[in-house]
Structure 1
């Protein structure tokens, strides 16, 4: 009954939007019905919203095909409306595959691993020996991180020989096994997390000092990131993991989690540092690393926590791709030297570099995290891992089985009973044809974000839990995750309810203001999902002016490198959306009283109406597709570029001639390498 009432209410809301926007005028007579097709013809945005509403009546109850709770709206506050749409909407279904199997390693194409690690023992697997013929002996050597280097690894000088098992006290080792004629028949790498006694005592002293500050709880933090997975695509590609998060961990889902910048690095810096990259001293010309910055793992380490930092795909690691990385290990347990050694052992890789030996790279990384958690005993920890390779450039690829098994194992062994778990992504797909649709652009800006807290914590602090419940349907950003991490570390059990949006960041233990907008959250127009949008003709004069401004801006950025980068020409405008602030925002004058007799007064429209044009253009000779946002200011009759311009094409080697990372997506080299 309540769901039926909510749907009716939503129909009335959308009808009022249509009437107030002037898109359609209806005279409703008693007994007349209004079909969905009548509405869907008035712009792709409204059509998608209504199809999402209709789908709610017939959607399956399982995680794969459900239209999410909210009956057509992910967020609906006074300053932000974000529609929630069907997972397999007709406009995007051709880009999606249903029931994609989880990545796995085909063991028929690779011999089974001959060695494995159990606790602090390196063991020869007797059942695998037959696959290698004869085995005489094995030996292992330590993998070492060179001092002040984040881009290389070294092998220790001493090798340790063994027959069937050996005690290992080093975190990273490489194993070699030989036949009776001394031929190399097997090699592999193993990562462990041995307890560091000196570290344990140091951390205990820090914890004593930290406790004197009067903080009430000491939660562990586990953060698992997936590259390029939107909230909707998490439902499509990770249904088993979603089920664990929702059903076993009772995770909160942030339906309005909006990215604030384009790619991974510039979205995660706000999350872990609380600043935009441009607010730090780093830029593309910097010749120093990131050691001096107070990232969250460093803050937790200073408070006595054991810390872990683990990524896959080291060539494109977040703080290393075309950057200096870290001079000193950023965390107590740092996987990068091991990952570099894996990358260099090229004969072990197969299945498009997803499998190393008979194991997925994802499983190896998650196993390292599991071992770290298992060996912490009663020591508090902060663990951050980010998995890039499986989902970076493939909308229909996943490691769902790996992640669900990882979580289920931790839960089954009681290892998350004092842990805040954050499963998240940096953004949605950025290099996919799905971006040609409105829903694709919506997904790119709304990454997955799930937060789980221990059940005892929820019971003990009900106001905090209630705030999190409310915040699920508020506009949120990576800056709020940073504030949450600060709050967990300094928790005093006194959550706040903010009545006005006066800050760009709020702890999710507090209640995010209802009147928060993209402007107060400092989200650029280009990335903001709150704006009301409608399709406009690509031949209209304003759209043509916007497109010319975008192509001119691109060429201006590469002008200084014209001897390398050709001048791009506008080939065609492929799509245009027009967005504008809500009429009530523009005409609001004042309000009196809060509850009884509450009244809102409206007046003349504020001067300087702003219209935002989201334009997609194709350029020549590169054939690249660019997405740009242009602001038209009526007061001055002028057009201005708003935010940055993104390239939804895979530019690869086409920009080989220029090393400046910020220009690679705009530069098409005059001389193209032969393929």
Structure 2
């Protein structure tokens, strides 16, 4: 028995060494972009913040883009194609795609949220079916429906499934009857359309026609200095919807639902706005990804039950999880929003948040190009709709791409911090509020955040007659000038996400860089994985991929007193660990004290003098750069740890 254990231990050791060697070889052969992107100008040029502007087709990302695979289109060889117009549904049948003798029958059933105390992860199908055949136009009375088609001689063998969402005016009519007419307030509808992981640069690459419609036809104002305030979707949407940071929410984010949080749609609802919230990819939704979601339906219109139902349909998603039948899930969302906008007057004003995770969340970068036809159709319809004169539309993203090969480039790291955002105002708004619009245009090239977008929504709420509680937030309304000398610290942007300062590249084998990388790995093991230590392998530094030193220019345009007074250097280090080949980016500070600072010297030799082994290192942030699917499945109740963990049962 002892001999067997010894043999097993030796085998495990050999396997671990072999896997580490393979990982080292693969990482050595992987193309890591070392060339630096060339700025073409400045997006923000203030006394304390300079945000560089880059060309979207900068050579440093071209190799990444060349290797990307196209997105699988949703349209295919389906035997049925549904057409939806308002509440009417018609069907076209491609007979050549049916087997001989098949007489097609289609039936629909309602899809509803389970209301008997369950949370967001339950839905139920209606018991009654409504069936139709051929091109008969069917008037639908349910908000969400599942459509199933089968040959009449095999009614239990479905050959087609689709899911549809309809705007039911009765919901709007109820809100309208509850409204109190107030003549001296201005209740504009607010529509927020969000797309996951789209930087301003990637928007310019793959949605150029959308950009043209926004800027030329709709006179939309881009917020070019918008900077994310957290690593992923949750902290950025929380900032947008509450004006708060995650650590300011009075709850355990993992264990409690979000029903009692101060989400801004509640303020709109209190003014009898009709509210709507939808996110596709139910498993990735902001308030549901390893979290409890909502125990009660959060808004008047809430699409989650329909998405849950469609994701259980192999036929509806046979072309990919970004599809529902022959349409993108995003197109399903936009159609419902467009139908809501087309509600006849008089009706209540609306607050709607539409957010799409598919197909952009995990990339590749080029996949957002598939969204262009649907977005163009939606924006052109909005331009000619009656709601155009009584609403504000914001097209935005939460952050740029966070995973994949682009994150091995310096430009990829910059893009991940700079999300897309456009503001579209009614045509008459500038005539009535010239100072607001002038301020918005000035702020287009100032450092801004989602805290500011929230403050702007509060500004619109105040116009609509809301009495709002104070929020301890750094946000400033974009309808007033954002201060020119605004730093990341002033704006609520942590150092890890701040792009205001210049960087210089350092050799990967620089002594201070290696120390910083080792400190980051130690931080992962001892701090970030503390709660899951018994199930996660100890990590070791396999390789430093790249390093940047943040430059504080005391005599130049960036007057960064914090650096000089506190005496520290800040590094951004990309590294790979073993086992598992995880790629991380760490923000690390070395504190040497103000007496050891050599102002204006940014090279590696000067850094070695300032940051010696006896000086303290502080790890501010560690983010994952590559996907970790399958590496941390042993963790079921430790969501935050999953991005760092390599399960011991995989060794």
Q: Same fold (TM over 0.5)?
A: yes
- Indicate which of 280, 286, 308 corresponds to 1:318: 286
Q: Which of residues 85, 88, 107 is equivalent to 1:118?
A: 85
> Which residue of 495, 510, 521 maps to 1:551?
521
| Distance in 1 between residues matched to 2:267 and 2:295, nearest whole Å | 17
Local SS of the residue matching 2:110: strand
- Given that 2:553 and 2:559 are in contact with CA atoms closer than 8 Å, whether structure 1 keeps it comes out as no
Q: What is the total number of aligned residue pairs between the two structures? A: 580
Aligned mates of 1:207, 1:104 — CA distance in 2? 47
- The 1:202/1:555 distance shift into structure 2, 3 A limit, reads same
1:169 aligns with 2:135: no
- State the alpha-carbon separation in 2 of the partners of residues 221 and 545 from structure 1: 49
2:422 matches 1:450: yes
- CA drift at 1:461: 0.9
- Give the counterpart of 1:328 among 291, 296, 301: 296
Q: How does 1:340-355 map to 2 (within 5 A)?
A: 340-355=308-323
Q: 1:186 to 1:630 in 2, by over 3 A?
A: closer
Deviates more, 1:545-554 or 1:472-481: 545-554
Asked if 1 retains the 8 angstrom alpha-carbon contact of 2:342 and 2:385, the reply is: no
- What whole-Å deviation, never above 9, does each CA across 1:381-435 have from its counterpart, x for those lacking one? 1111111111111112121122112111222344423221111111111102222
Aligned pairs for 1:56-205 (under 5 A) are: 72-97=41-66, 104-107=73-76, 109-113=77-81, 115-125=82-92, 128=94, 132=98, 134-135=102-103, 137-147=105-115, 148=117, 149-163=119-133, 164-181=136-153, 183=155, 184=157, 186-196=160-170, 200-205=173-178
Aligned to 1:373: 341
Task: Give 1:584 deviation, angstroms.
Answer: 4.7
Aligned residue for 2:547? Answer: 576
Q: Is residue 658 of structure 1 aligned with residue 635 of structure 2?
A: yes
Asked if the contact 2:70–2:366 (Cα under 8 Å) also holds between the matched residues in 1, the reply is no
Pick the aligned partner of 2:240 from 251, 257, 271: 271
State how 1:401-550 maps to structure 2 within 5 Å.
Answer: 401-491=373-463, 504-550=474-520
CA offsets 1:641-675 (integer angstroms, 9 cap, x no match)? 353210101111101111201101111111229xx
Aligned to 1:244: 213
CA displacement at 1:371 relative to structure 2: 1.3
Of the candidates 217, 224, 227, which is equivalent to residue 258 of structure 1? 227
Q: Partner of 1:27 in structure 2?
A: none
Please give the alpha-carbon distance, in whole angstroms, between the structure 2 residues aligned to 1:510 and 1:99: 42
Structure 1, unpaired ranges of 5+: 1-42, 54-71, 494-501, 590-601
Q: What is the CA deviation profile of residues 270-310 of structure 1, one whole-angstrom value per residue up to 9, with x for unaligned ones?
A: 11011111111233542x21111121222111112111111
CA drift at 1:177: 4.0
Q: SS at the partner of 1:87?
A: coil
SS in 1 for 2:402: coil
Of the three residues 634, 644, 647, the one matched with 1:669 is: 647
Give the match's secondary structure for 2:388: coil
Residues 600-639 of structure 1, C-alpha deviations (whole Å, 9 max, x = no match) = xx9x995432211111111111211111111122228643
TM-score by length of 2: 0.83
- Over aligned residues, Cα RMSD in angstroms? 2.9
Does the CA contact (< 8 Å) of 1:103 and 1:397 recur in 2?
Answer: no
SS in 2 for 1:139: strand
Question: Which residue in 1 is equivalent to 2:252?
Answer: 283
CA contact (8 A) 2:203 2:420 kept: yes
3-state SS of paired residue (1:364): helix
Secondary structure of the equivalent of 1:383? strand
1:627 corresponds to: 585
1:592 is aligned to: none
CA change 1:666–1:605 in 2 (3 A) is: closer
- Partner in structure 1 of residue 468 of structure 2: none
Give the direction of change, closer, same or farther, for the CA distance of 1:428–1:187 in structure 2 (3 Å limit): closer
Unaligned 5+ segments in structure 2 are 1-32, 466-471, 595-613
Q: In 2, Cα distance between the equivalents of 1:368 and 1:323?
A: 26
Q: Does 2:618 align with 1:641?
A: yes
Is the CA contact (8 Å cut-off) linking 2:402 and 2:625 kept in structure 1? yes
2: distance between equivalents of 1:206 and 1:347? 43
Whether the 8 Å contact between 1:366 and 1:406 is mirrored in structure 2 is yes
Q: Taking CA–CA contacts closer than 8 Å with sequence separation of 6 or more, which of the two structures ends up with the larger relative contact order?
A: 2
User: 1:339 and 1:347 mapped to 2: Cα distance?
Assistant: 14
What secondary structure sits across from 1:91 in the alignment?
helix
The 8 Å contact of residues 44 and 534 in structure 1, kept in 2 or not, is answered as no
Q: Aligned pair in 2 of structure 1 residues 169, 548: CA closer, same or farther (>3 Å)?
A: same
